[in-house]
Amino acid sequence: MKRHRHLLVGATMALFACVAITSPAMATACTNLRSLQLQHTVINSADDNTTGTFVPPGSSPITGLPAFCRVTATLVPSSDSSIRIEVWLPESTWNGRFLGTGGGGFQGVITYNELAIGIQAGFAATNSDLGTGSSGCNPLFCGSAGNMGNPLAIQFGDPASPSTGLFGHPERIKDFGYRAIHLMTVRGKEIANAFYGQRPQRAYFAGCSTGGQNALMEAQRFPNDYDGILAGAPAFNRTHLHMAGLYGWQNAHASPGRFIQAGQMTLINQAVLKQCVGQDGGAKTDQFLTDPRDCRFDPKVLLCKGGSVPPACLTSDQVTTMQRYYGGTIDPVNGQIINPGSQRGNETDDILALGLAFQERLPEPAFDGLFYWVFGPSFGYPASATNFANFDFHHDIAKVDDQLAAVLNATSTDLGEFRGHGGKLLMYHGWADPLIPSQSSINYFLALVGNEGPGFPQGFQPVGFFDHGNGNPALRRTQSYTRLFMVPGMYHCAGGPGPNTFDALTPLVKWVEAGVAPDTILATKFVADTPPAVQMTRPLCVFPKVAKYNGNGDTNNAANFSCVTDENDFNQKPAPKYGP
C-alpha cells in the first residue's frame, strides 16, 4: 500500500515526471514510435533521453542513466478508463528482458525510480498509474473528507476538498484491481518489440505493497504475462487490509485516553526488545526480532505505577489500544479474525513507516478512500449511517466485499497455470512492517503449501508440518515454484532497524533462467540507511528457515549466521471467508 519502491529494497522513489530532452528535427527509432498504432492505446510521446539524467519536478535528479527512449501512453480499455503508462527502453544496453514494475497505495502517479532502476540494470521497463490518476488519486488518498486543515494530512497529500475517488466508476476500479497492470504489460511488450525489432526473451515483474498485490494478481489472473514475479509485502487481501486500517484508527480514537502519545511507540519497542531479542535465533545485540512470533510481550508490563505518568508509561486505556493493535481486526459479534494483527517489534514513532504513529494523527484513516468507492461521499461525514468513525465490523463488511473483493483481492491460491509454464514467484515481507501484517504473506504461502498436501486445509500448519529431517513433500513442491523470504527488522518495503537493503531480482532471474532456486539472499543495513558505509549484513533465509547466530564472531557479519529450520510457530490468520 505504500508508495515505496522495490527492485533493490531501500531505494528512494521519485514520483513525478519531467519532459525528456530530444532533438525535434531528426526522426529516430524512438520518435518513430509516436505513430505506433496499438489497440485501445494513445501514444502521447516518444523521445530520446541521452543526458544521463531525469529530473522529476520537486525532487532530486535521477542520475547515472543510460541513453533511453521514453514512451508515454494512455490506455483506454473502456470509455471511462484513462490508464497512464510509461515505457523506458535502453538504447544500447538492453539485456533482452522486459520488466514490469509496481507502485504503492492507490498509485495515481508513475513510479519513476522503478523505471530508472530497471533501465540501469538493462531491462526495458514499464510502470503505470493504475488509472487512478484520472480520479485525482495519489498513493495515500483516493477519496477523503479533505485534509480538514490537519498539517500531517496536508504534508502527505490529502486534498483540501472532499473527494470520492473511484465512486461511480466501476471500470476504473477494475483498472486499479487488475486490468491496468495486465494491459501495461501487453502494450509495453508491443512497444519494446516495435523499438528493438524483437520481442523480449524473458519477462519479469517486481513490486512491493500495491506492487506486491499487482504481482500476485498477475500470477493468478494472467499467468502467462511473466516468467518471474517478485512480490514484496503484497496488499493482496485488500478489502480486509483496509478494514484493518479503519480498525486501528477507531481503536486509537475510541476515547482521548486511548491515543498513543509521541515517543511511546519507541518506549514500547524498547520493552519488546528487552524481553524478546535474541530468543528467536538472532543475536542479543540486535535492535530487531528475527521472528517476532516467538515474542509473548504484553503491554501491561508498561502500565503506569506509583507516580509514573505518560509518556514514560502506559495508562490502562493505552494498554488496551496496544493489545488490540497486536490482536488483529476482530468481528465484535462472532469474534472472527478479519485481518491479522501487528507483530511485536514493529512499533515505531517514525511517521514515514505509515504505522499507528502516522495513522492516529490524521483526521481520518489515510487509506479509507477504498470505502468511499462503496459508500460515496457520506463516508466522510460522522453524521451519516456508515462512516470512517463508526464502520461496523460485523454488518458493513459484506457490502464492501460484495462490491470490491472479487475485483481487488488477489487471494486465489491456484497458481497451476503459472507454475505449468515454468513461472517462478519470489515473495518477501519485512517482519517489522507496521502497515501490512507480516504474517499475511506467510498465510498466503502456507495456503499454497496446503494445496500441495493431501488432507491439509489451506493455511493449516499441523505438528510436523515443517519436518526437521527430509522436509515436507508439499513444502518441497511449493518451493519448486514459490519461495518466501521474511526480512527481520524491515518496515513496509523499506527502512527499519534491520538489514533492509537487498537485491531480490537477480536471484529471481537466476532461478528462472538457470534453474538455481535461492536459499539465501544477502541483506545489508547501511549506516543511517545511506550507502556506502555498512552497519551490518545478515542472510535472509528461505521460509520456514531463520538466520541463527553461530555463537562466535561479529554479530554484524552475515558469515556468522546459518539458516536453520524454525520451530512450528503460531501464525494468526483470518477466518476462512476472509483469508487466506
Work out the average pLDDT over 29-58: 95
Q: Which residue has 542479543 as its cell numbers? A: 284
Please state the domain count of the chain: 1
Taking the C-alpha atoms of residue 279 and residue 536, their distance in angstroms, rounded to an integer, is 19
Taking the C-alpha atoms of residue 4 and residue 370, their distance in angstroms, rounded to an integer, is 19
Decide if 318 is inside a domain: yes
Cβ neighbours for 521, distance < 8 A, ≥ 6 positions apart = 428, 485, 502, 503, 504, 507, 539, 540
pLDDT value of residue 471:
65
- Residues 430-451: tens digit of each pLDDT: 999 999 999 999 999 999 999 8
Least confidently predicted of 62-71, 413-422, 457-466, 483-492: 457-466
Omega before 311 within 30 of 0, i.e. cis = yes
| Per-residue confidence band for 51, with pLDDT thresholds at 50, 70 and 90 | very high
SS3 content of the chain, % helix, strand, coil (to 5): 30, 15, 50
Q: Could you tell me how far CA 313 lies from the centroid of its own chain?
A: 32
> What pLDDT does 12 receive?
33
The whole domain housing 286 covers: 240-362+571-578
Distance of CA 396 to the CA centre of its chain: 26
- At which residue does the C-alpha cell 496496544 appear? 322
Q: What is the rounded distance in angstroms from the CA atom of residue 554 to the CA atom of residue 548?
A: 13
Asked whether 280 and 405 are in contact (CB, 8 A), the reply is no
Q: For residues 235 and 217, what is the distance between their CA atoms, to the nearest angstrom?
A: 10
d(Cα 488, Cα 537) in Å, to the nearest integer? 11
Region of 40 please: left (phi>0), alpha (psi -120 to 50) or beta: left
pLDDT digits (tens, 9 = 90+) for 112-165: 999 999 999 999 999 999 999 999 999 999 999 999 999 999 999 999 999 999
In a domain, 39, yes or no: no
Q: How confident is the model at residue 8 (pLDDT cuts 50, 70, 90)?
A: very low
Q: At residue 133, what is the residue type?
A: G
Q: What is the mean pLDDT of the segment spanning 43-64?
A: 92
Q: What is the dihedral of CA 546, 550, 551, 552, to 10 degrees?
A: -140
Report yes or no on 329 lying in a domain: yes
Reported as half-sphere exposure (CB side, CA atoms, 13 A), residue 299 has a value of 27
* pTM for the predicted model, two decimal places: 0.93
**pLDDT one-digit tens code per residue, 255-271:** 999 999 999 999 999 99
| Domain assignment of residue 102, yes or no | no
Taking CA 190 as the corner, what is the angle to CA 412 and CA 32, rounded to the nearest 5 degrees? 150
Residue 259, domain member (yes or no): yes
Tens digits of per-residue pLDDT, 268-319? Answer: 999 999 999 998 889 999 999 999 999 999 999 999 999 999 999 999 999 9
Q: What amino acid occupies position 55?
A: V
Q: How many CA atoms lie within 13 A of 502 on its CB side?
A: 29
Q: What is the rounded CA–CA span in Å between residue 145 and residue 377? A: 8
Residue 399 pLDDT > 90 = yes
Instruction: Give the position of cell 499507528.
Output: 356
Q: What is the mean pLDDT of the chain?
A: 93
Whether pLDDT at 362 is above 60 = yes
Query: Distance of alpha carbon 576 from its chain centroid, rounded?
Result: 23
CA 525-529-535 angle, to 5 degrees, is: 40
Question: Residues 477-520: pLDDT tens digits?
Answer: 999 999 999 999 999 999 999 999 999 999 999 999 999 999 99
39-52: average pLDDT: 97
> Grid coordinates standing for 555?
554479530
Kindly indicate the confidence band of residue 454, based on its pLDDT and cuts at 50, 70 and 90: low
Residue 7's pLDDT is 41
Note the pLDDT of residue 455: 39
Assigned C-alpha cell, 425:
514467484
CA distance 571 to 459: 9
Q: What cell was used for 409? A: 483481492
Kindly report, residue by residue over 98-117, the tens digit of the pLDDT. Answer: 999 999 999 999 999 999 99
CA count, 13 A, side-chain hemisphere, 525: 24
Taking the CA atoms of residue 118, residue 120, residue 123 and residue 129 in that order, the dihedral angle to the nearest 10 degrees is: 30
Q: Kindly state whether residue 558 falls inside one of the protein's structural domains.
A: no
pLDDT higher than 80, residue 407 = yes
Burial class (CB in 10 A: 0-12, 13-18, 19+), 529: middle
User: Counting every residue, how long is the chain?
Assistant: 580
> What whole-number distance in Å separates Cα of residue 240 and Cα of residue 152?
25
In a domain, 125, yes or no: no
Is residue 218 scored above 80 in pLDDT? yes
Percent of the chain having pLDDT more than 70? 92
Residue 300 forms part of a structural domain: yes
Could you tell me the maximum CA-CA distance found in the chain, to the nearest angstrom?
80
Q: Please tell me the predicted confidence (pLDDT) of residue 25.
A: 57
* Residue 65 per-residue DSSP state: P
For residues 471 and 459, the answer to whether their CB atoms sit within 8 Å is no
- For residue 148, list its beta bridge partners: none
